Amino acid sequence: MIIVYHHNNKVASIFDHQLQEDILVEENHILKTLMHLATLHNNRILVWCRLDCKEQLNHVVISNSFKIKNIMLSYGKGFYIPEAIGYVEDSPFIKVNPSVKYGTFLMSSTVGAIHSETLLKFRRCNFPNDFAFALNSIAKLGMPHGLFCYSEPKLILSTIETVEKRAGVYTLFRFVKQHYRARWVFLLALNFWWHESKVTLLPLLNSLLYKRRSFNTAINLEANVECETIELPSIDVIIPTIGRPNYLKNVLKDLTGQTHLPNKVIIVEQNPEEGSKTSLDFIYSESWPYKVDHHFIHQTGVCNARNIALQQVVSEFVYLADDDNKFDEGLIETVLIKMLKFDLDVISMSYLQKNEREKRKFPLQWGTFGAGSSVLKSKFLANVSFNEVLEFGYGEDVDFGMQLRNVGADIIYFPSIQILHLKAPIGGFRTTFKQPWLEDKIQPKPTPTVMFNRMTNTSEKQLLGYKTILCLNYYFSQEIKNPIRYYKFFIKEWNQSVFWANKLKNSNT
């Protein structure tokens, strides 16, 4: 690795850690120095480090983190981009858990690293002199094209005292204008006015002078070192099911044909009628090349069913499947090879219905989680579960994905690994469940389970930004056309949703 130490936004020294020798400083600009080093030194890890953190830099973690080339790491006390970015960024990459490796485009100039070949993909971008701004711009541009970006606390051996300098409001508006659609700067200004009583007309007008940045280069997933022969690990499969035995039987047949067989298939069959019997007799009448662990329960709900199944997992990996999947014989082998070769924690696969087309072309950090189309390392199951507060609501998969991120697991979407979702006609919520708020005179808006999910898994600014968008969009689909009357009624609906979300939260604890 080559380390660029900087002080007061200028290069202080450069050190080749591999050769244990200094490199002559020819340029004060940090990013230009890194870019120049990338052109001279092929296949090297480039590190930036604030001079006062020199003795705390964890060289071992940096070296071990680059098993793949398309990675960008950083860490600092706080972030350069202020929390108000949540007004326009509705993704899990904002509410960062600073105690674990966490996927985010929020980069720090304190300490960080990127591979030389990856950095060179951005050489045609005209970045500003502000190094911290440029780092965040690289991450924001790169993530949708396959750059894996992380906040990694292990880059530093001890606590950082100095807080990362925050961008001002003018810089924030500029960042939004250059990396989002133009309308978002207006929504950003509206959010500042509504939620903070701040008039940001001048920053808004100033941002209009800048064009949106473009970056269309694919950053392919590439191993940094050659992999040895891979011995595939064991894997269990969990399948919740209710009332569609024929579909489930076909899934078991697809699993039977796998080139790498599962160790165990855990099936949780639900039937709410007391005294009812299983409709899956074929599990016992036919032979299977793996163990079938069948649980028959009278409680409905996919969260409960999946949690029961997750407690039975004994293998190194687990595939969370649905009972109406269709996939080829190489699915499990392909996924496990990818996970081992690139050292991945979670893979979510393409899960489209017939005649749908996959638009994405390469693996990327995923903003959600596929509860019926994902494989993960079983070691994470000790700290995560499907939140049964969300049973018969929405968002249990999003919440599960956030739990994974908060224990240090990143979710990578692989569009090339495809599962056909047959979307069985009797799918969905097949039992009647009446939510307690359905009798309220004022109905909550949004649905309390959605509000609970957002209150739990998004930042305060993200929640307020969602409130703004919901208020604007909902106006055109409801009957009250007087804006003042509508706004007052919307606030009542919103508060009702918050009330029920807090009750769900209390029942969860």
Give me the torsion for CA of 437, 438, 442, 448, rounded to 10°.
50
pLDDT digits (tens, 9 = 90+) for 127-186: 988 999 999 999 999 999 999 999 999 999 988 888 899 999 999 999 999 999 999 999
Asked whether residue 495 carries a pLDDT value surpassing 80, the answer given is yes
Strands 411-421 and 346-352: parallel
pLDDT classification of 432: cutoffs 50, 70, 90: low
d(CA 189, CA 491): 20
Helix (H) or strand (E) holding 70: none
Q: What is the DSSP string of 360-399?
A: --S-EE-SS--TTEEEEEGGGGGS----GGGTTSS-HHHH
Asked whether residue 439 carries a pLDDT value surpassing 70, the answer given is yes
Report CA torsion sign: 31, 36, 37, 39.
Answer: positive
Report CA torsion sign: 11, 12, 16, 22.
Answer: positive
Task: For 257-288, give one letter per residue: b (16+ CB within 10 A) or e.
Answer: ebebbbbbbbbbbbbeeeeeeebbeebeeeee
Asked whether residue 506 carries a pLDDT value surpassing 80, the answer given is yes
pLDDT digits (tens, 9 = 90+) for 341-373: 999 999 999 999 998 999 999 999 999 999 999
Q: Quote the percentage of the chain above a pLDDT of 70.
A: 98
Could you tell me the CA-to-CA distances from 306 to 87, 138, 235 in Å, in that order? Answer: 34, 38, 16
pLDDT digits (tens, 9 = 90+) for 69-91: 999 999 999 999 999 999 999 99
Please work out, in degrees rounded to the nearest 5, the angle formed at the alpha carbon of residue 314 by the alpha carbons of 302 and 429. 5
pLDDT of residue 282: 96
pLDDT of residue 71: 96
Q: Quote the percentage of the chain above a pLDDT of 90.
A: 86
d(CA 3, CA 337): 33
- Compute the half-sphere exposure of residue 277: CA atoms within 13 Å on the CB side of its CA: 1
d(CA 319, CA 416): 17
Q: Are 385 and 307 in contact, with CB atoms under 8 Å apart? A: yes
pLDDT of residue 175: 98
Domain ranges of the chain: 2-207, 235-421, 436-508
Cβ-in-10-Å burial (0-12, 13-18, 19+) of 16 comes to: middle
d(CA 133, CA 76): 14
Level-2 CATH architecture, domain 235-421: Alpha-Beta Complex (3.90)
pLDDT digits (tens, 9 = 90+) for 281-330: 999 999 999 999 999 999 999 999 999 999 999 999 999 999 999 999 99
Asked whether residue 425 carries a pLDDT value surpassing 80, the answer given is no
Query: In which residue are the tokens 């687990």 written?
Result: 318
Mean of all residue pLDDT scores within the chain:
94
Closest Cα to residue 381, out of 175, 235, 186? 235
pLDDT classification of 427: cutoffs 50, 70, 90: very low
d(CA 188, CA 322): 40
pLDDT of residue 27: 87
Query: In which residue are the tokens 């970015």 written?
Result: 85
pTM here is 0.94
Q: Are 346 and 412 in contact, with CB atoms under 8 Å apart? A: yes
Could you tell me the CA-to-CA distances from 435 to 438, 439, 501 in Å, in that order? Answer: 6, 9, 12
Query: In which residue are the tokens 């949540």 written?
Result: 86
pLDDT classification of 428: cutoffs 50, 70, 90: very low
- Joined tokens for residue 238: 């969990």
List CB contacts of 225: < 8 A, sequence separation 6 or more: 67
Q: Are 313 and 238 in contact, with CB atoms under 8 Å apart? A: yes
pLDDT classification of 112: cutoffs 50, 70, 90: very high
Please work out, in degrees rounded to the nearest 5, the angle formed at the alpha carbon of residue 431 by the alpha carbons of 428 and 436. 105
